[in-house]
Chain A
């Protein structure tokens, strides 16, 4: 595959509000297509970073190149190539879904001749067919979110920036919106901010973790887990063994580390399931369970951010 220019590239991107540094020297490169999870505790600077990338806020220092254009030098070019859904969908309650989307298409520069077709297409894609004449002010939260996504898509941008698109949705709406986002990411780059970790595990090919305005993690979930020692692990439950068998387990081939979690439960890292099972049998202990666990984003998050997710 061709080495393409990154969709987003920042160099020491910094934003200060008075004495508060909301975004602090963030360097990142994001290539498309696919979904990048933008992760961090509340107040970490996620929304501010997104506002910098979309040109809504000017940066205090540093540089950002989005979709091939410098955000500071050519904001109009960047804005024409980015679809942005703020945390609350920016709707005009007086307008119908159709009127609203046609207006957004117009201010995003969709040529008159293509406007109707384009609006029809995004309505189809976001499951809004038949909702054209409904007032946006009368929609449920899930449908408001759909209209929000539709407005971000209406000019067919190569980059979508979505700020917590699933917050406050009920489980059925969640499934729908997630499916839609996955579908959209097939042919474009999606940056998705959230603090719902399972969502990131399910959707994102890559994670960017920020904390107190700084970038603290960048990579696939597996890579990040590797970095903080939260890779795949085995949960061993054994009975009929002496009080602490950590030492015995640690001596098994391919075991990297052993930690006792409770009286009969151990946490083992290393690709050692067979060896551990054999050892337990050999010692005459009772193997009650040996469960492989995936790298957990939860642990990555806690160890990089240090707080509770």
Chain B
């Protein structure tokens, strides 16, 4: 028997993750909680600003994702470790990279499901006002970029422990600084404010919400994602050496 290649291994892991997601309550809990919070922010955003766009609610949606995405990622590796199925995966001839990438893609697919189920928001905006379709599109792109980055961080947290709860809290804590840095921005000296804007995910999300696709912002989210996926890979590799 020949070892399966990277693409086939990724696909196998992806399909398995999707099946397990939808057979366990985590996926439904994630979508339900995110939609509930999103609904509140959507209402408040329109009611307070009177503006037919997602812009007023984007920060809140981004922050919602920080707290909801760990519901998806927390079990992904921690549970495999606890149940001993990681031993099955790591004694199978699949590359570790494909294992992680397949899991991340599955989490992203779930995020896509979430974003698609927010379709009523733009539909309502369209009925009540005259939203800019381009801005709507870039707003969604920004949220999707947030999902990519935060799921990578959550996956890393999940690779560090066998306890799902610890993995969930860890997933939040890893991303929290990139939000809190915007909260303390205004009390910082001027030079540090610039650095804070670089670090804050909200600052990068804001330009998406304004209809701008900036390569710098894309690079920020892509880099964030890559770094945490890489750390996840190192974490799984190094655990074998301990």
Contacts and interface: CB of A to CB of B under 8 A. Distances in A.
Interface residues of B, number: 29
A229 B116 CA distance: 75
A90 B24 contact: no
Nearest to B92: A107
Interface stretch (A76-84, A210-218, A247-255, A265-273): A76-84
Contacts of B235: none
A108 B1 contact: yes
A176 to B, nearest CB: 23
A106 B4 contact: yes
A94 B13 CA distance: 15
Nearest to A112: B8
A71 to B, nearest CB: 11
Nearest to A78: B93
A90 B91 CA distance: 11
B47 interface: no
Nearest to B83: A90
B177 interface: no
B242 A108 contact: no
B91 A109 contact: no
B88 A151 contact: yes
Given A54-B91, A79-B3, 14 more contacts: A56-B240, A75-B93, A76-B93, A79-B91, A82-B91, A84-B87, A91-B85, A94-B24, A95-B20, A106-B8, A107-B12, A108-B93, A109-B93, A156-B1
Contacts, number: 84
B74 to A, nearest CB: 16
Contacts of A109: 1-4, 93
B1 A56 contact: no
B240 A57 contact: yes
B20 A92 contact: yes
B159 to A, nearest CB: 16
A75 B240 CA distance: 13
Given A17-B242, A55-B91, A90-B88, A80 B19 contact: no
Q: Which of B9, B15, B90, B91 has the most CB of A within 10 A?
A: B91
